[in-house]
Amino acid sequence: MPHRLNAWRRVRLSVSLAGSLLASTAIQAQPFPDHPIKLIVPFGAGSAVDTIARVVGAQVAEQINQSVVIDNRTGANGIIAAEMAAKAPADGYTLFMPNDGIMAANPALYPHLPYDPLKDFAPVTLASTVPLVLVSNPSFVAKTVPELIAAAKAHPGKYTISSANVRMFVELLNSRANIKLLHIPYKGGALAASDAIAGQVDMVYAGLPVLLPFIQSGKLKALAVTSTKRSTALPKVPTIAELGINYEINIRYTVYAPAGIPRAVQDKLIKATQKVTAEKDFKARLLAAGIEADSAHPEKLEEQAREELAMWKQVAKDRPDLVTQSK
């Protein structure tokens, strides 16, 4: 009898193992994606990255026949969102769209970050590039960048420049132009713009999509853009570089997945996102907001990320007072 009982137990164990194997195989065989994808955005509604993410998400959803849900996770210069994305399962159902500040400037400013931009993320594709734009209250003493530089050199620290999450870019401008503008941090570019209109601050430095409506209405005056060439949205506004300053900044917005994502899933996402960024409708919708659609393969993005990280670490080395030492 004991022998028969043991044999029966072995049969039941074999059946159980076979059932588990079949269930596991069935799960693995399920096509990706079989439920909605979450796209984490590190800034609030109305920000440049939120605008881009919603256009990208809507059109990628059509490509993969599955919804893409935008999840705005604001705060701490994008660190909260980045940590959340880095710790998410690497299954393709969580994506992240940061800017260069989060992936390159933050590691230079905060040595004890809860994420590593190179080790914790796998790039999917570049979605777009956005120039920063320097604007002022129309009554501001300087009407051009050369006039601003002359005034700032005559009165170091007198003139205020507000920004949200781009202080490193302000300090780089100070360094390259050999001036000292007093930086005033804000939680959002639109709030900074409102205070500039009211005369509370002299200038605002933010992404073009945030400031474009204020420029078009005449409430703020555009002094210069930071891109390598003039913006299509502001063709009469010079670049800082063409004014003789070694300063070219294009903020890249890239789609990432947590590191370890299966290659087949990553390839499917790459194909879908790059098809979207190449479409005329996508380019036109972004261009209306002052955003240039763009794309790049993951290998190129990894190379660019290392170059950007090295540049900002050098800036932090030159300005150790900007680095946060607390853990």
CATH number at residue 123: 3.40.190.150
**The pLDDT of residue 48:** 79
**The pLDDT of residue 209:** 85
Which of the listed residues 214, 243, 272 is the one where a domain comes to its end? 243
Same-domain status, 198 and 294: no
Whether the CB-CB separation of 78 and 42 falls below 8 Å is answered with yes
Same-domain status, 152 and 88: no
CA distance 173 to 244: 12
Residues of the domain holding 112: 37-129+251-322
Kindly state whether residue 1 falls inside one of the protein's structural domains. Answer: no
**The pLDDT of residue 105:** 86
**The pLDDT of residue 252:** 87
Kindly state whether residue 221 falls inside one of the protein's structural domains. Answer: yes
Q: How many CA atoms lie within 13 A of 258 on its CB side?
A: 19
Kindly state whether residue 310 falls inside one of the protein's structural domains. Answer: yes
**The pLDDT of residue 26:** 42
Token duo for residue 189: 């570019």
**The pLDDT of residue 317:** 82
Same-domain status, 83 and 172: no
Same-domain status, 107 and 158: no
**The pLDDT of residue 8:** 46
Instruction: Give the chain's domain count.
Output: 2
Same-domain status, 230 and 287: no
The segments of the chain whose pLDDT lies below 70 read 1-30, 325-327
Same-domain status, 172 and 232: yes
Same-domain status, 120 and 140: no
